[in-house]
Structure 1
Amino acid sequence: MQFKLLAVGAVSVLALTSAAQAQDMAALEAAAKAEGQLTTIALPHDWCGYGDVIAGFKAKYPEITVNELNPDAGSGDELEAIRANKDNKGPQAPDVIDVGFAFGPQAKSEGLIQPYKVSTWDTIPDDAKDAEGFWYGDYYGVMSFGVNTDLVENVPADWSDLLKPEYANSVALTGDPRSSNQAILAIMGSGMAKGAEPGKDSAAKGLEFFAELNKAGNFVPVTAKSATIAQGATPIVMAWDYNLLAWRDALNGNPPMEVVVPSSGVLAGVYVQAISAYAPHPNAAKLWMEYLYSDEGQLGWLKGYCHPIRFNDLSANGKVPQELLDKMPPAAAYERAVFPTIEQQDANKAAVTEGWDKVVGAAVTE
């Protein structure tokens, strides 16, 4: 990725100003309301502020029922849900997906998604979207550590610290590294911290790191969530900063939780949106995308500690409230962030999913 976190650039806004565009939007709204339903998948309410984002969409379009499938699913599960429901127009067929950056091209190549360019298309960075409109970036954050400071006296500052004996039975991922994008990219970050370039090398070094972590008895093969942090089952969790910050707020000091951006291997991760090629409610799906990429939808993600993909444009036009920026970690913490390319993520993903069992051999369970 070529765009920089918190950078501000002058980008023109493609607004619905002409009568023709307004008419098209009115027609889309009417068609979506006639369908009456939108089926989402893998959208936990504490992920990126999705609870409030979904509530905002419902408030704006009360005629459309939002059917939420499997909130804790991973990106691979989302694609499988489309494959499994190609001929199913019932409530188990997702209309839209929100997946890791590397899963967008995969879904396109398999014919699982359909193109649609939102009204604010021109304000999405070119290197964060498919030129034909099959998928487009929605938000990003950096891989960080969430630490239960009731149980961890010395907060780790970097990946290498996690190997210390004092962190026995303490370190966990947020999913299965064979299918969860967040877990796959945590492995990339750990490999980058060992000096590897993003891609196949970062996967090799990352798997080596996790093998060491597992052999040392520090790795906990449990899918970490805010509840497992609160229970003390996963005192240290590797996850996106926005998830950890949201969990910290929800825990409200019980237990106290610190969020740390590591000193090295600072990995920025972009997620993307797409519409299923077999969406039972295609117009509701398009309207959902219009909402997500509107100023209101983008700022909804920022409230959830995610940097929306249109952040530069919103900043350039003075549309980002300072109080939202004040709640984010200092900008300096992100200055070393690396945005891997699609090709690098694909290479890392393939090597991680194929090598996890052989190299690490720890089955991550719910």
Structure 2
Amino acid sequence: MTLRMRTPIALALAASTMFTSSAFAEPSQELIDAAKKEGMLTTIALPHNWCNYGGVIQGFKDKYGLQVNELNPNAGSADELEAVKANKGNTGTQAPDVLDVGLSFGPAAKEQGLIQPYKVSTWDSIPDDAKDPEGYWYGDYYGVLAFAVNKDVFPEVPTSFADLKASAYTNSVALQGDPRTGNSVMMAVYAAGVAEGGEPGADALNKGIGFFKELKDSGNLVPVNGTAQNLAQGTTPIYFDWDYNLLAVRDELNGNPPIEVVVPSDAVVAGVYVQAISAYAPHPNAAKLWMEYLYSDEGQLKWLDGYCHPIRFNDMTERGVIPQEMLDKLPPAENYAKAIFPTLEQQEAAKAAVAENWGKEMGLQ
């Protein structure tokens, strides 16, 4: 994704306690004082209605009293890196301090020397497969592939990819489009392949193609793109997308018709964004304080309030710090605990496989 259109239990007490010191750690007074002396944080590409960033920014300002200078809220990930490049020697208001980019842009920014390392105090509770081991970039929030179900059509809601093979779902299951041209659609096919036992990468993607070919042959796959309108009308009463998009659709429809968002029990595949600090940040201490806020329980909960799963979701669930009213708006937490984060290499292999095999297997041009 390059455009910011924004268009992935209980443990034993001892294991849970491992995270206690880091999860509740506060930034040092020295860092807070240094950030306040700088007085400002410059962000870029953070629309207020995406992941509740409006609430996140306001929470940071309220907590620390810093000014937040917001550049181009609708910029894309590539635009963010270009803004860093264009302002290497600029300490003014056009130079971003911090970045929020798609996964592939984190390693690219590191390779180009555009970001600097910093490990937040809650570092250990960020999953290893969602962060650079040296601290140059780290996952901030994610969505998981899910499907929405029109409950007027299907009062008994399917809970897995395997369930969707049943004859009860004839002419009912839809994708958003062609997986060769849309990342979320490709990842839906990938997730189906994981459910079918596929190994990460091309194997999962090819098994996912086999899954949807089976749905097509049985008549379960609708040859119409899944949309909110088609979901509501019953044209595509089941369709796939990232969970945060589907949860927003559910809320917008407000029970007319009733919608249930299902995280499939047999495959939980996540797509993650990452945070980083510019190597040329004019306000490096404010940037570090921003990161501390984002990765605190308070900051993570503000993202969750916008239906974007904070990267420390599993840790916070295990410690029981997520308000029940938030959890009640989401699919069951135990499914999210199984989320896997495909690597860049696995995603590239999947893209190659879908480009080569989707058309010929599905009988398309």
Under a length normalisation based on structure 1, what TM-score does the superposition of the two structures give? 0.71
C-alpha distance in structure 2 between counterparts of 1:238 and 1:231, whole Å: 16
The AA in structure 2 aligned to 1:298 is Q
Q: 1:277 to 1:148 in 2, by over 3 A?
A: farther
The AA in structure 1 aligned to 2:340 is F
The AA in structure 1 aligned to 2:44 is T
Structure 1 residue 56 and structure 2 residue 59: aligned? yes
Structure 1 residue 296 and structure 2 residue 304: aligned? no
The AA in structure 2 aligned to 1:24 is L
User: 1:123-143 deviations in whole A, cap 9, x for unaligned?
Assistant: 434454322111123345542
| Contact persistence 1:139–1:271 (CA under 8 A) | yes
Which ranges in structure 1 are unaligned for 5 or more consecutive residues? 72-76
SS of 1:352 mapped into structure 2: helix
C-alpha distance in structure 2 between counterparts of 1:106 and 1:135, whole Å: 10
Show the counterpart of 1:133: 135
Under a length normalisation based on structure 2, what TM-score does the superposition of the two structures give? 0.71
Match runs of 1:314-329 below 5 Å: 314=316, 319-329=321-331
| Contact persistence 2:95–2:281 (CA under 8 A) | no
SS of 1:144 mapped into structure 2: strand
| Contact persistence 1:201–1:348 (CA under 8 A) | no
| Contact persistence 1:53–1:297 (CA under 8 A) | yes
Q: 1:202 aligns with which of 201, 204, 207?
A: 204
Show the counterpart of 1:13: 21
- CA apart distance, 1:189: 0.8
C-alpha distance in structure 2 between counterparts of 1:350 and 1:191, whole Å: 15
- CA apart distance, 1:253: 1.2
Show the counterpart of 1:346: 344
The root-mean-square deviation of aligned C-alpha atoms, in Å, is: 4.1
| Contact persistence 1:149–1:258 (CA under 8 A) | yes
C-alpha distance in structure 2 between counterparts of 1:332 and 1:123, whole Å: 17
C-alpha distance in structure 1 between counterparts of 2:351 and 2:239, whole Å: 20
Show the counterpart of 2:247: 245
Rg bigger for which structure? Answer: 2
Show the counterpart of 2:193: 191
C-alpha distance in structure 2 between counterparts of 1:52 and 1:189, whole Å: 32
Show the counterpart of 1:81: 79
User: 1:325-344 deviations in whole A, cap 9, x for unaligned?
Assistant: 44443345457x2524xxx5
Q: 1:220 to 1:314 in 2, by over 3 A?
A: same
- CA apart distance, 1:207: 3.7
Structure 1 residue 65 and structure 2 residue 69: aligned? yes
Which ranges in structure 2 are unaligned for 5 or more consecutive residues? 1-8, 88-92, 361-365
Show the counterpart of 1:39: 44
Q: 1:291 to 1:190 in 2, by over 3 A?
A: same
SS of 1:9 mapped into structure 2: helix
Q: 1:12 to 1:143 in 2, by over 3 A?
A: same
| Contact persistence 1:189–1:267 (CA under 8 A) | yes
SS of 2:119 mapped into structure 1: coil
| Contact persistence 2:61–2:68 (CA under 8 A) | yes
- CA apart distance, 1:230: 5.2
The AA in structure 1 aligned to 2:150 is N
SS of 1:64 mapped into structure 2: strand
- CA apart distance, 1:212: 6.1
Q: Percent identity?
A: 45
Q: How many residues align?
A: 337
